[in-house]
Structure 1
Amino acid sequence: MTTAQNERVATGGAVRHADAGRTGVWHADWLVAFGPDVDHLGFAGQGRRWRSRMTTLAVARLEGSDIRIAEDQRYVVLFSGLLTNASELDPAATQDDAAALVLGLIASHGADAFGSLRGPFAVLAWDRAEEKLLVGRDQIGLGALFYARSGSEGWLLSASPDVLASQPGVSRDPDAVALSEWLCGWFPAVEDTAYREVKRVPPGHAITLQGAAATVYRYWDPLPDDEDVQWLREEDLDAFEPMLNRAVNRSTQGLSPAVLLSGGVDSISVALAAADLAREAGVEPPLALSLVFPDGESNEESIQAGVARQLGLEQIMVPFEEAAGPQGLLSAAMSQSASWPQPMWNLWSPAYMTLARHAASRGRRVILTGRGGDEWLTISSYLLADQLKRGDVMGAWRLLQMRRRSNNLTRPADVARLLWMTAGRPLASAALDYIAPVAWHQRRRRRLLAERPDWIAADPAIRRAMDDRIDRWIDPARPKGGFYHREGQTAIRHPAISHDMEETQEFGRRLGSRVMHPY
């Protein structure tokens, strides 16, 4: 297919990019420019361009990308990623139709359409009538999306921060404050990247770009501040298995996947669902991929092998030392991180990269994990603080005993430590905040700042900037929705989640695979 054919495949009234395959795997980093003028950026003659009276939308690097395009008289929609619920929105739809489906939703619901989409996606929708660009990123952050200013009223967007930093007018200077926060373990703000002038679209957020203004807002929030936790009822449990099967089916898109199989119930349940779905669809069973750890407490080899055998799965088991490589895990992580678009979050990535290579060599283009299973299948121990605060001693006792059995806490000192960390200390902090909120907050602030090593951010200006931003890492001592609610929000909103999701997609992308987390 020629470049011209690849960039314009017409179906009905919509124009879209050719199908990137059911996995939505991309092989190039597309680049979008939006604003009054993009000619100075060297977009002339590349990709596609659309003009209105006051603004221009241009997309380049289409060749080899997964961008699909649809347009009507008012909107131009660019879709990158995988719309896993495409067939649920339209039974006749395929991944080819993703942009057209989103176009229809945006025409009817505007930016509210993002909440109806599932899967790893980035959507850019140009509203010609209002001269604005609506930008949305998927709920968890599986699909990467970054943006930078171009001139006074122009904008650049891409799935790669490196691509943006290489454009004219965008500085390649590192964000010294964000990187210093990273080294401290505080984490930068979720929107920050390694580049000072390149920002991330946060997961579950949308941005409206109009002129020089960028309005960022959250479109998806399963735990809003003003709502209580909605606990499952006994009758709700029957819906779990069908929901997990749907999530796994969405993730595989009818392909036979590989599964990163540990000895935990999260990855085991994903492997079970994938095996059942493969059998029903008449496709090859999933391929089990397992790391074998050398020390006894971490070694789950017997469980991993037993699960694969019971499910009838071919299994590749790689000893951890072999997976990490001859140079060792730390050296491998440093070498891998040197070419990564951001500092590496998970130092275990080189070992899992080895497993992903095995999947790619067997032609498995989808890799499933059990990520998120702990959040779905377990209850945070911080519920103890809420229970004791409202006088539910028996409920706290049952939860404590459940935690004791699950975590194999045999020593009374271990149980006491758990009780202090997740109930005693939070309740004591809440009491002190009630008595002297300003003084207690300042003490917590000083204690956090004291943890910063002297060798980090020796420049006084960088230190002051870190000091000014430290408050966002101090959790409210008296959270409005309770301590359990606060922990649930952290599990969704913490920058580490976004970094982790982007990292797994990056190593999958480099091998031509899509890493999916059904939970």
Structure 2
Amino acid sequence: MCGIAGAFWVSPENEVSEEVLRRMTDSLSHRGPDDSGVYHRSPRDLQPYGLVPGIGLGHRRLSIIDLSGGHQPLANEDQSVWTVFNGEIFNYKSLRARLEGAGHTFQTHSDTEAIVHLYEDEGPELFSHFNGMFAIAIWDARHRRIVLGRDRLGQKPLYYTIQGDRLLFGSELKAILQVPGVSREIDPGAIDAYLTYQYVPHPQCIFRGIHKLPPGHYLTFDGKQLTVTNYWKPDFSNEINISLEDAKQELIRLFTDSVRLRLQADVPLGAFLSGGIDSSLVVATMKKLTDQKVKTFSIGFPQKEYDETSYARQVAIHLGTEHHEFQVTPDALEMLPKLIHHYDEPFADSSAIPTWYVAQMTREHVTVALSGDGGDELFAGYDRYRAVRLAALVDMLGPVGRFGSKVGMKFLPAGGPQKSRLRRARRFAEAIAMTPGRRYLDWISIFNETRRSELYADEFVETLPDVDPYAFLNSAWKRVGKRDVMTAASLADLTTYLPCDLNTKVDIASMAHALECRQPFLDYRLAEFAIRLPSKWKWRMGRGKFLLKHAFGDQLPPNIWKRRKMGFGVPLNTWFRNQLRGLLHDTLLSETAMSRGYFRRDTVETLLKEHDQNQFDHSARLWALLVLELWHREWVDA
């Protein structure tokens, strides 16, 4: 687990000096405090390849496997192929055996060396052979090109920009911004998408001209032509016909092997344990696969509605883990500057705060932690899927159902707590007239289409591209074809919310503390299996994760299976009426914020007033606006 950065250029005037390359690399030192390395060559005549473009590769290392021999950048025998790599290739041992059988010679025991030798055989198609989480850069001197690739489910980030015949890349945006002359022009469409989703979705970036390589893609660039290729294309429309017993056995096999692969490490290893189903199953499987006591880590908060430690403690006792439990009082005033700096782009998922704390405290004990991310998307774990299924039933009633919802909406309150039953009922009724995909976006949006139109200043609307943010979700939604709407919602989450929000949150929070986080549910073999499962094996009696319970029900205490999903949050609602009220008002209504020309002052004032007076819980919206303004002050105004 590391940080990578670099550049490729043809024209001498576009050269990135070794000094700048080192600055790019050192900006990622938090991701890799154990070692660093750079490879820098100006354009030159390289026999027998002729004139070869310039290349700069930088690497910061967090040592996990082959502690003494895994230095990067790393080359093949004749130095015609070089690589820098962030992540882990979990099947590298089987790949190594195959490559050695084909005549390749290895000088290290690291997973990195498998990359250069497999590239020699497969070229850019090598990424489809990897089981892992990765962002990889490969310099191919023979073909005078650079190749970038990203793992299938977006566990590792990778930014890039093209400037004429030059390409710059980095694990984090801040690495690219170290290069003189890189523009920080804001993309208005990215702001529109951010206020819709609470993140800037790939391939967009908050800065115009910079991009995020989408998950499951690789690119090649030779100074003239950029080609972006999707190498992972599971068929979301194909549902397999499988018995419950066969599905159970296949799930057990795949999940067990996924955890086994992710226990490979030459450093101390543990697991996050929230007391929810997914993290608990990861820990239960770790226990079966290792002779040592599993180290588990949980974080708790003074507010009972945000504290899951009692459940985590119960699971830890049941499984006999070496349990570490931390109690913290989140300090938003202390945390905000750190989050704004490390996340690079505006990122409004407030659960980044507890994720930051648990990563920080876990790193005091281990270097690698397994987590349960991905189980909700793959096995229908979110409560919102209940609304999706109910809406589908109303759709079956046609105009009668929609008319009934419209009439019922008149008797439901417009304000009140965001998650109250009456408020959720009103939002459900409001959305019934929409198409299923548009309705789902309306439910998950921070600012839906109506609220964004009320928020935006006229001059900002004029700058927006003719692109609907819904297109990002809709392209994922349509991939399921004629399958049921709950499958559409969960698989859309798998390719949008999971990589852009959850994986971003975990990667940045963990790597800020040099902690590697591995996610067994995101083994691509397990994902491909779950993608094709019929929803009847995921959802029963109004609850998700039916197959998980059927396969692993005896491994956890019964009440863990029955408990309500809590999420991983902080008390924004209370903060914005108390200790953060002054900061919130002063920041959002400041002359600096208003002068940006994005928002209508009267709309922002209404949001603040309604929240202050407890008429409506606007905490998620206000947090998004606060993060956006503080982000500008950190990354644009400075």
Distance 1:173 1:464 in 2: 13
Q: Cα RMSD between the aligned structures?
A: 3.9
Q: 1:414 to 1:177 in 2, by over 3 A?
A: closer
Distance 1:89 1:474 in 2: 35
Residue 356 of structure 2 corresponds to which residue in structure 1?
A: 353
Residue 233 of structure 2 corresponds to which residue in structure 1?
A: 221
Asked if the contact 1:38/1:58 (under 8 Å) is kept, the reply is: no
Asked if the contact 1:87/1:94 (under 8 Å) is kept, the reply is: no
Q: Secondary structure at the match of 1:273?
A: helix
Asked if the contact 2:91/2:132 (under 8 Å) is kept, the reply is: yes
1:201-212 alignment runs, 5 A limit? 201-212=213-224
Give the aligned residue type for 2:339: Q
Does residue 493 (structure 1) correspond to residue 505 (structure 2)? The answer is: no
Asked if the contact 1:147/1:157 (under 8 Å) is kept, the reply is: yes
Q: 1:344 to 1:265 in 2, by over 3 A?
A: same
1:105 deviates by 3.0
CA deviations on 1:241-264 (whole Å, 9 max, x unpaired) are 232222223223145423221121
Distance 1:485 1:122 in 2: 29
Q: Secondary structure at the match of 1:215?
A: strand
1:62-211 alignment runs, 5 A limit? 62=59, 64=61, 67-71=72-76, 76-81=81-86, 82-91=88-97, 96-150=109-163, 152-185=164-197, 187-211=199-223
Q: 1:260 to 1:189 in 2, by over 3 A?
A: closer
Residue 513 of structure 1 corresponds to which residue in structure 2?
A: 515
Distance 2:143 2:269 in 1: 43
1:308 deviates by 0.8
1:36-435 alignment runs, 5 A limit? 36-37=11-12, 40-43=15-18, 47-49=39-41, 52-62=49-59, 64=61, 67-71=72-76, 76-81=81-86, 82-91=88-97, 96-150=109-163, 152-185=164-197, 187-224=199-236, 227-230=237-240, 232-234=242-244, 235-254=246-265, 255-279=267-291, 283=292, 285-294=293-302, 299-321=307-329, 324=330, 328-329=331-332, 332-362=335-365, 364-378=366-380, 380-381=385-386, 382=388, 429=434
Q: Secondary structure at the match of 1:222?
A: coil
Asked if the contact 1:256/1:366 (under 8 Å) is kept, the reply is: yes
1:492 deviates by 2.4
CA deviations on 1:338-388 (whole Å, 9 max, x unpaired) are 3432223431223232222222222x0111211111223337544677789
Q: 1:191 to 1:94 in 2, by over 3 A?
A: farther
Q: Secondary structure at the match of 2:233?
A: coil
Q: Secondary structure at the match of 1:120?
A: strand
1:514 deviates by 0.4
1:465 deviates by 1.9
CA deviations on 1:116-151 (whole Å, 9 max, x unpaired) are 11222122234444433332101111222111123x
Asked if the contact 1:75/1:125 (under 8 Å) is kept, the reply is: no
Asked if the contact 1:137/1:206 (under 8 Å) is kept, the reply is: yes
Instruction: State the TM-score, normalizing by the size of structure 2.
Output: 0.60
Q: 1:208 to 1:489 in 2, by over 3 A?
A: farther
Q: 1:97 to 1:72 in 2, by over 3 A?
A: same
Distance 2:510 2:437 in 1: 47
Q: 1:210 to 1:33 in 2, by over 3 A?
A: closer
Q: Secondary structure at the match of 2:204?
A: coil
1:295 deviates by 5.1
Q: Secondary structure at the match of 1:100?
A: helix
Residue 451 of structure 1 corresponds to which residue in structure 2?
A: 451
Q: 1:97 to 1:365 in 2, by over 3 A?
A: closer
1:102 deviates by 2.4
Q: Secondary structure at the match of 1:452?
A: helix
Distance 1:60 1:130 in 2: 17
Residue 443 of structure 1 corresponds to which residue in structure 2?
A: none
Give the aligned residue type for 2:492: T
Over the matched positions of the two proteins, sequence identity in percent amounts to 18
Asked if the contact 2:155/2:499 (under 8 Å) is kept, the reply is: no
Give the aligned residue type for 1:58: I
Q: 1:175 to 1:114 in 2, by over 3 A?
A: same
Distance 2:467 2:512 in 1: 38
Instruction: State the TM-score, normalizing by the size of structure 1.
Output: 0.73
Q: 1:124 to 1:432 in 2, by over 3 A?
A: closer
Deviating above 6 A after TM superposition, structure 1's stretches of 4 or more consecutive aligned residues are: 92-95, 384-391, 476-479
Q: Secondary structure at the match of 2:135?
A: strand
Q: 1:211 to 1:31 in 2, by over 3 A?
A: closer
Give the aligned residue type for 1:47: Y
Give the aligned residue type for 1:174: I
Asked if the contact 1:181/1:466 (under 8 Å) is kept, the reply is: no
Asked if the contact 1:75/1:103 (under 8 Å) is kept, the reply is: no
1:21-32 alignment runs, 5 A limit? 24=1, 26=2, 29-32=4-7
Q: Secondary structure at the match of 2:482?
A: coil
Distance 1:205 1:432 in 2: 25
Q: 1:270 to 1:186 in 2, by over 3 A?
A: closer
Structure 1 residue runs without a partner (length 5+): 1-23, 392-412, 434-446
1:99 deviates by 3.8
Q: Secondary structure at the match of 1:242?
A: helix
Distance 1:176 1:339 in 2: 22
CA deviations on 1:488-518 (whole Å, 9 max, x unpaired) are 4312221663343133222222222101211
Distance 1:94 1:489 in 2: 41
Give the aligned residue type for 2:319: L
Give the aligned residue type for 1:109: E
Q: Secondary structure at the match of 1:78?
A: strand
Q: 1:509 to 1:298 in 2, by over 3 A?
A: closer
Asked if the contact 1:111/1:134 (under 8 Å) is kept, the reply is: yes
Give the aligned residue type for 2:276: G
Q: 1:55 to 1:455 in 2, by over 3 A?
A: farther
Q: 1:186 to 1:267 in 2, by over 3 A?
A: closer
Distance 2:312 2:157 in 1: 32
Distance 2:138 2:363 in 1: 33
Q: 1:496 to 1:270 in 2, by over 3 A?
A: closer
